[in-house]
A and B are shown apart, each in its own frame.
Chain A
């Protein structure tokens, strides 16, 4: 488990619309200082790509948008506490953290 003070490199996969918005191709690699949680990963993501603010979670309480899901290591983490540690495989970069638009056509 990564410890406070470490800077982990977390791999994040964005949905297609948000890749276009952020002007990135493929996987985003983010340095995340301290504990690797959903909140710290999203903070790092929004710091590097401020145009994503409000598109994944709201501007205020950080609440996940209703049609956005978070997956990693074959698990649905959408309803996990945002400050809970992510799986070690995500924190080490072995497995990506997936931000997914809910399966609802479009």
Chain B
């Protein structure tokens, strides 16, 4: 029987939420790694019971945990993330040079076909890969050592590589997004990279249309159309139809185009979801109403989705890695909030229910569709 497994990373541990295909009754397990920050968990598409989790604290640093039974038991694996060579400097918030320093793993992206291969996006921005199930990690230095690297600067959350997208049609192609540098693309399996930010415009940098320096919050792709990308930038919702070569704004009639997550319906490549947030200085929903916005036209025209979501006195945020979709026939949409709620919609966003209401602040949400 089909079902779903939702992997939730929070400020104080990980939680695994399970349900059958109806997505009405939920079994909650956790906290796993209680008291630790779990920035992200994700399962291997090739072997769904293989999960990876990024566990960290400021006290004791970074750990990577691996499960081979769908999150029931876990094993700490390798946690040495050493930059290649002698790392140079990037820009600090005030524009002065600042040494590259590893802080934590923001995002784990398992290979599409090999459960032992997994990529890690880290702060300070860099891309690492393990080919042995997380025991050993090696940097793919071509990204950090791109000639623009010394000009990258941190966003408010740190200088993080937060998004990794693997192209299912072209195994050599991958995308990475960095706050606040922008989107980079590799066409040789991560060896060399180039920025793909043409069309982005950002206030707060000297050249608003510069090649790098944009605070990209999240990018998303539908696997059936890997040349189409959607982006939630610091401000602006953007779209590319040429694998990032050029971008155009599709914010349209959104009440605000600031936000963090963006995702695409599992079966409708032109159906896109965002969660508008008031502004970069007010990280909560406009008017205290938690609304997901859906476009069925690939952007520009957006409709608010509110049924089951709080429509007064709601001042939570939804972080960049905290939205996901399942691939059941009726596409499920999930997101978690900094107030500790995880919401599910089993009807593509028309109605919402909380799975849990009182977790620690949610950092990430992933969902696995199980057959």
Contacts and interface: CB of A to CB of B under 8 A. Distances in A.
Q: Is the interface of A mostly helix, strand, loop or mixed?
A: loop
Interface stretch (A26-34, A48-56, A84-92): A48-56
Contacts of A60: 82
Contact of A106 (B57, B61, B82): B57
Interface residues of A, number: 21
B83 to A, nearest CB: 11
Interface in B43-99: 57-63, 76, 79-80, 82
Given A21-B76, A60-B82, A55 B36 contact: no
B61 A54 contact: yes
Contacts of A20: 34
A55 B63 contact: yes
B57 A17 contact: yes
Contacts, number: 47
Given A17-B35, A17-B36, A102 B59 contact: yes
B120 to A, nearest CB: 14
A18 B33 CA distance: 11
A54 B64 CA distance: 11
Q: Is the interface of B mostly helix, strand, loop or mixed?
A: loop
A41 to B, nearest CB: 17
Nearest to A51: B76
A106 B36 CA distance: 9
Nearest to A23: B76
A59 interface: yes
Given A59-B80, A102-B59, 6 more contacts: A15-B59, A20-B34, A21-B63, A55-B60, A67-B60, A106-B35
Interface of A: 15-18, 20-21, 51, 53-56, 58-60, 65, 67-68, 101-102, 104, 106
18 contacts: A15-B60, A16-B35, A17-B59, A17-B60, A20-B34, A21-B63, A51-B63, A53-B79, A54-B79, A55-B61, A55-B63, A55-B79, A58-B61, A59-B82, A60-B82, A68-B59, A68-B60, A104-B59
